[in-house]
């Protein structure tokens, strides 16, 4: 299996995967809108990109439908909602104003929203999620770089820098310069899956693809890494 990430105008990042058992070029969209294309090993990357571009309208339509369905499944956040992964204490405060405010300090996330609008209103819910994301970003930047350093030291990996981002499609990635990019949404995952993603990307500093040697290296660190990869599929990046 050979993988390649490409950027397609109008669609964004698209993951291309060559598989020996695949006979046709197939496009799959996931709930959060990311696009994955599988193609035969004898097909060229340019052929796959051409197919993706020809399906531009279909992809955008399907993505819109999937994201709408995802939003409909999102919980309504109120003062009783618990976020066990968030260390910040959350305060939702209605106040006399037409605009909301987000205040983060001393371990507290204060979200002030216009008292004239129901908290269940989509605008308020999106604003609350924005505040939670910003608090999570702070926690991620305090935790993840140090965790990468600890795990790299434990298993003998070398890397350059760690970047924490709010990516929409990937939990993590490793650049050609061995920079580790991690999604701030890792903070929502169990610790063992956080470590799995981090070491997964660190392993790419040694093996760039997902070949046999790559998985052997992960198994050396985790035992059966594929079980963790399967467990990770139970979590969505955009489920907040």
Asked if residue 47 and residue 102 are part of one domain, the reply reads no
Per residue of the chain (240 residues), give pLDDT as tens. Answer: 688 888 888 888 899 999 888 899 999 987 667 899 999 999 999 999 999 999 999 999 888 888 777 666 678 999 999 999 999 999 999 999 989 999 999 999 999 999 989 999 989 999 999 999 999 999 999 999 999 999 999 999 999 999 999 987 789 999 989 999 999 999 999 999 999 999 999 999 999 888 899 999 999 998 889 999 999 988 888 777
Q: Structural domain of residue 34, as residue ranges?
A: 2-73
Question: Is 41 inside a domain boundary?
Answer: yes
The length of the chain is 240
Asked if residue 56 and residue 7 are part of one domain, the reply reads yes
Asked if residue 63 and residue 7 are part of one domain, the reply reads yes
Question: Is 83 inside a domain boundary?
Answer: no
> In a 10 Å sphere around its CB, with 0-12 CB exposed, 13-18 middle and 19+ buried, how is residue 134 labelled?
middle
Give the span between the Cα atoms of 58 and 67, in whole angstroms.
14
Asked if residue 119 and residue 151 are part of one domain, the reply reads no
Asked if residue 102 and residue 61 are part of one domain, the reply reads no
Asked if residue 227 and residue 144 are part of one domain, the reply reads yes
Token code pair at residue 195: 């470590």
Asked if residue 226 and residue 178 are part of one domain, the reply reads yes
pTM for this predicted structure: 0.74
- Domain tally for the chain? 3
109 in Cβ contact with 90 (< 8 Å)? yes
Give the span between the Cα atoms of 43 and 23, in whole angstroms.
9
Token code pair at residue 229: 């990869």
DSSP secondary-structure letter at 2?
E
Asked if residue 172 and residue 214 are part of one domain, the reply reads yes
Asked if residue 228 and residue 168 are part of one domain, the reply reads yes
Question: Is 18 inside a domain boundary?
Answer: yes
Question: Is 84 inside a domain boundary?
Answer: no
Asked if residue 213 and residue 152 are part of one domain, the reply reads yes
């Amino acid at each position: 299996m050979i993988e390649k990430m490409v950027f397609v105008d109008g669609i964004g990042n698209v993951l291309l995967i060559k598989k020996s058992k695949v006979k046709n070029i197939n496009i799959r969209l996931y709930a959060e809108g990311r696009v994955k294309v599988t193609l035969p090993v004898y097909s060229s990357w340019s052929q796959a990109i051409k197919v993706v571009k020809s399906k531009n309208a279909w992809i955008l339509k399907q993505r819109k439908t999937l994201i709408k369905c995802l939003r409909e499944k999102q919980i309504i956040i109120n003062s009783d909602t618990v976020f066990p992964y968030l260390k910040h204490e959350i305060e939702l405060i209605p106040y006399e104003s037409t605009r909301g405010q987000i205040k983060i300090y001393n371990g507290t996330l204060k979200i002030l929203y216009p008292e004239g609008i129901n908290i269940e209103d989509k605008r308020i819910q999106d604003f609350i999620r924005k505040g939670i994301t910003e608090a999570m970003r702070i926690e991620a930047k305090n935790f993840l770089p140090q965790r990468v350093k600890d795990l790299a030291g434990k298993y003998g990996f070398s890397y350059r820098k760690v970047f924490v981002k709010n990516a929409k499609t990937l939990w993590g990635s490793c650049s050609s310069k061995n920079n580790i990019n991690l999604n701030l949404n890792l903070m929502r995952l169990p610790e063992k899956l956080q470590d799995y993603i981090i070491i997964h990307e660190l392993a790419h500093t040694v093996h760039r693809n997902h070949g046999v040697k790559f998985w052997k290296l992960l198994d050396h660190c985790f035992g059966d890494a594929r079980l963790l990869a399967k467990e990770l599929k139970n979590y969505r990046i955009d489920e907040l």
